Amino acid sequence: MFYRENGQFKTSYAADQQIFTIAQDKWFVWGLIAFAALAVPMLADEYMFRAILIPFLVLSLAALGVNLLVGYCGQITLGAGAFMAIGAYAAYNFMVRIDGMPLVLAMLLGGVSAAAFGILFGIPSLRVRGLYLAVATLAAQFLCDWAFLRIGWFTNHSSSGSVSVAKLEMLGWVIDSPTEKYLFCLAFVIAFAFIAKNLTRAAIGRQWMAIRDMDVAAEVIGIRPMFAKLSAFAVSSFFVGVAGALWGFVHLGSWEPAAFSVDRSFQLLFMVIIGGMGSIMGSFFGAAFIVILPIFLNQFLPLLGSLVGVTVSTAGISHAELIIFGSLIIFFLIVEPHGLARLWSIAKQKLRLWPFPH
Amino acid sequence: MDMTDMNSAATTTPSGRRQGEVILDLQNISLRFGGVKALTDISFNIREHEVRAIIGPNGAGKSSMLNVINGVYHPQEGRIMFRGQQRQKMEPHMAAQQGIARTFQNIALFKGMSVLDNIMTGRNLKMKCNLFQQALWLGPALREEIVHREKVEEIVDFLEIQHIRKTPVGALPYGLQKRVDLGRALAMEPQILLLDEPMAGMNVEEKQDMCRFILDISDQFGTTIVLIEHDMGVVMDISDRVVVLDYGKKIGDGTPDEVRNNQDVINAYLGSGH
């Protein structure tokens, strides 16, 4: 009844090509951003920031990057963790080796380094596809795991193998409290989400989707497969690299290579599949599902247990958590193979007609 | 060169369509896949503005011929002269840059994208903004997007698909998908338009619509059209010249009337007495 585009007429192509063509969508998203930036810092406690919100934001950004490559360009990757690691370690090296390096610039340069490696490891995509490409990108993962563990130069010859960033400071603003860290991440995520949306609705995004949907036809209408695929690898790795730098600098503070293991790559790929391939919103849904659900189950199960008079042991909770989490993944994939983003758009479609069935 | 000179006289066809110089000249094309000879020593030319049909029984090598023309297949022998210049071995996207567009026999649309986006990809070669401008959706990128959107809307109007412009193409019925496929090729503003069985699997009304679009494209834009089609009524009605292939060899070439009375063609289609 309230969510309807009646009376909103478009009189120019510019108006028709906005990100949110329905005014209610626009208000909803701006409201959400305002809530996240203004209300959440007042409502959330330190645990919420550290355990839920910051990981959620950073992994959303990484999932967004993976989604550009997997969801929009159709090139599967299992090397996302490696590109996160490259972003984090490159940003770290820019910070420690260059005096007076601004924090944000170091992170962006970390992203650029990841993009360069992304192009390198994207080259196999010109010849192989599908599972074979997944295996080829897995090589990046193992190479990085090894390099950051064994080559001392990358970690500035740290004796313990772990590296840390002393102080996060941007233009005199010292980022040390969880709230500030959260806002710092939020700014990155919002900016990058809009960049991703712009890219996917512009010519380059159409090139990626054309390559994904029908590569022969794409080539026949003049799209160069090499440019389209490698640009997707570059942009995707840039996003993932910046997310890696955020993960290391802001979330962990000090880290070792295990923080970016192959588990992380799988986790990011699952976020994209569950959230919805080829959807910006889906990346956030996927990250929320994978980050928040285990924590939610952890809190919720003892409550449920006490309700029916059963005391659940800690080990029992962690087992049940895995079981329920796994079965929920299977449930969502069966009910909606196109991910949570599709459920979201179906819900919006129904809401447009509500209270009428048709 | 002497081949082009021989054919340079511009003529008018019975249909009254102006017919210009030879735009594409295929000379002694042979294409093999391993031991299979798909095309053997085929020569014919395509004149500017004409509707040129390629016909032949199944497996005659018609689609292979189109794939040779737009660079998907590379013939082992023969020369391709494009506007009097010998064409080097090249990739499909280079053929697209030279103004050769095509539609596909089994629709090859981008299923996940809307009708508008599908046709917009056809404008891809004409869009010059770089990645950073697109990322920030700055002035030039926005203006470019709108300029091309206007062109695309003209095509949408031309093909009468306004009502489905935002529908994902995967959800469209077959006849409309064929139309979108044609629209995507038209968006390239091609000089040569290759149509691979544009009317396959259509009912009579859809075929009439498609014929009308093809003739309108020829009349309004002067696009050279190369057409593969199995419906002989359509071919004989709308094409200026017809080339007939059978088992990868050329067995006939000429106006529809000449081809209709060619004994080799009759044998290929109806079988010969033994």
Which chain A residue is nearest to residue B114, measuring alpha carbons? A206
Band of the pLDDT at A174, cuts 50, 70, 90?
A: confident
* Cβ-nearest to A231 among B95, B96, B131: B131
Residue B186 distance to chain A (closest CA, Å): 10
- Integer Rg of chain B from CA: 19
* Cβ-nearest to A13 among B91, B136, B146: B146
Return the minimum-mean-pLDDT range out of A158-167, B103-112, B259-268: A158-167
Residue B103 predicted with pLDDT over 60:
yes
Token representation of residue A345? 């758009």
Judged by DSSP in three states, A166 sits in: coil
Band of the pLDDT at B113, cuts 50, 70, 90?
A: very high
Residues of A in contact with B110 (CB under 8 A): 209-210, 212-214, 217-218
Residue B6: its pLDDT value, please?
Answer: 42
Say if B135 is an interface residue toward chain A (CB within 8 Å).
yes
Pairing of strands B77-82, B85-86: antiparallel
Say if A183 is an interface residue toward chain B (CB within 8 Å).
no
Band of the pLDDT at B9, cuts 50, 70, 90?
A: very low
> Beta-carbon neighbour count of residue A73 at 10 Å?
29
Q: Are B113 and B168 in contact (CB under 8 A)?
A: yes
Return the minimum-mean-pLDDT range out of A252-256, A299-303, B117-121, B153-157: A299-303
For A302-327, b where at least 16 C-beta lie within 10 A, e where not — what string?
beebeeeeeeeeeeebeebbeebeee
Band of the pLDDT at A170, cuts 50, 70, 90?
A: confident
pTM for the full predicted model? 0.89
Q: Are A83 and A137 in contact (CB under 8 A)?
A: no
> Beta-carbon neighbour count of residue A348 at 10 Å?
14
> Which candidate in B97, B121, B154 is best for mutational testing of the A interface (most A CBs within 10 A)?
B121
Band of the pLDDT at A97, cuts 50, 70, 90?
A: confident
Which letter does DSSP use for residue B25 in this model? Answer: E
Domain ranges of chain A: 24-262
Instruction: Please state, in angstroms and as integers, the Cα–Cα distance from residue A163 to each residue in A14, A100, A153, A255, B170, following that order.
Output: 48, 19, 12, 6, 50
Residues of A in contact with B70 (CB under 8 A): 220
Contact between B110 and A207 using a beta-carbon 8 Å cutoff:
no
Band of the pLDDT at A191, cuts 50, 70, 90?
A: very high
Amino acid at A199: L
| Average pLDDT along chain B | 87
Q: Are B19 and B48 in contact (CB under 8 A)?
A: yes
Dist. CA A148–CA A150, nearest whole Å:
6
Q: List domains and CATH numbers for chain B.
A: 1-99+224-263 (3.40.50.300)
Dist. CA A290–CA B160, nearest whole Å:
46
Which letter does DSSP use for residue B230 in this model? Answer: S
Give the CB-side neighbour count of residue A169, counting CA atoms within 13 A.
8
DSSP notation for A84-133: HHHHHHHHHHHHHHSTT--HHHHHHHHHHHHHHHHHHHHGGGGT--THHH
Band of the pLDDT at B208, cuts 50, 70, 90?
A: very high
Amino acid at A172: G
| Average pLDDT along chain A | 87
Name A268's Cβ contacts closer than 8 Å, sequence gap at least 6. Answer: A59, A62, A63, A66, A80, A81, A240
Return the minimum-mean-pLDDT range out of A109-123, B42-56, B135-149: B135-149
Say if B66 is an interface residue toward chain A (CB within 8 Å).
no
Band of the pLDDT at A315, cuts 50, 70, 90?
A: confident
Contact between B188 and A222 using a beta-carbon 8 Å cutoff:
yes
Dihedral-angle region of residue B71 (phi above 0 means left; psi in -120 to 50 means alpha; beta otherwise): left
> Which candidate in B63, B98, B109, B110 is best for mutational testing of the A interface (most A CBs within 10 A)?
B110
Which chain B residue is nearest to residue A74, measuring alpha carbons? B112
Q: Which of B72, B154, B45, B48 is nearest to A221 (CA)?
A: B72
* Cβ-nearest to B96 among A13, A207, A221: A221
Instruction: Please state, in angstroms and as integers, the Cα–Cα distance from residue A200 to each residue in A71, A77, A116, A204, A237, following that order.
Output: 11, 19, 21, 7, 16
Band of the pLDDT at B11, cuts 50, 70, 90?
A: low
* Cβ-nearest to B136 among A198, A220, A224: A198
Residue A4 predicted with pLDDT over 80:
no
* Cβ-nearest to A210 among B121, B141, B145: B121
Residue B190: its pLDDT value, please?
Answer: 93
Residue A163 distance to chain B (closest CA, Å): 33
Amino acid at B82: F
Residue A200: its pLDDT value, please?
Answer: 92
Judged by DSSP in three states, B32 sits in: strand
Band of the pLDDT at B5, cuts 50, 70, 90?
A: very low
Which chain B residue is nearest to residue A202, measuring alpha carbons? B134
Residue range A105-119: mean pLDDT, rounded: 94
Contact between B122 and A221 using a beta-carbon 8 Å cutoff:
yes
Q: Are B185 and B121 in contact (CB under 8 A)?
A: no
- Terminal-residue alpha carbon distance, chain A: 13
Express each pLDDT in B167-198 by its tens digit: 999 999 998 999 999 999 999 999 999 999 99
This model of the complex carries an ipTM of 0.87
Residues of B in contact with A11 (CB under 8 A): none
Express each pLDDT in A132-160 by its tens digit: 898 889 988 999 889 888 887 888 777 77
Instruction: Please state, in angstroms and as integers, the Cα–Cα distance from residue A320 to each residue in A40, A51, A311, following that order.
Output: 30, 20, 13
* Cβ-nearest to B111 among A17, A213, A218: A213
Residue B13: its pLDDT value, please?
Answer: 56
Q: Are B64 and B143 in contact (CB under 8 A)?
A: no
Residue A309 predicted with pLDDT over 50:
yes
Name B251's Cβ contacts closer than 8 Å, sequence gap at least 6. Answer: B244, B245, B262, B264, B265, B268
Residue range A203-228: mean pLDDT, rounded: 91
Residue B18: its pLDDT value, please?
Answer: 66
* Cβ-nearest to B92 among A13, A202, A219: A219
Q: Are B81 and B68 in contact (CB under 8 A)?
A: no
> Beta-carbon neighbour count of residue B79 at 10 Å?
14
Residue B2: its pLDDT value, please?
Answer: 41
Say if A21 is an interface residue toward chain B (CB within 8 Å).
no
Give the CB-side neighbour count of residue A161, counting CA atoms within 13 A.
11
Contact between A216 and B108 using a beta-carbon 8 Å cutoff:
yes
- Terminal-residue alpha carbon distance, chain B: 43
Residue A68 predicted with pLDDT over 70:
yes
Residue B12: its pLDDT value, please?
Answer: 56
> Which candidate in A220, A230, A280 is best for mutational testing of the B interface (most B CBs within 10 A)?
A220
Residue A85 predicted with pLDDT over 90:
yes
Residue A168: its pLDDT value, please?
Answer: 76
Residue range B83-98: mean pLDDT, rounded: 87
Residue A357: its pLDDT value, please?
Answer: 75
Judged by DSSP in three states, B23 sits in: strand
Return the minimum-mean-pLDDT range out of A133-147, A198-212, B126-140: B126-140
Contact between B121 and A198 using a beta-carbon 8 Å cutoff:
no
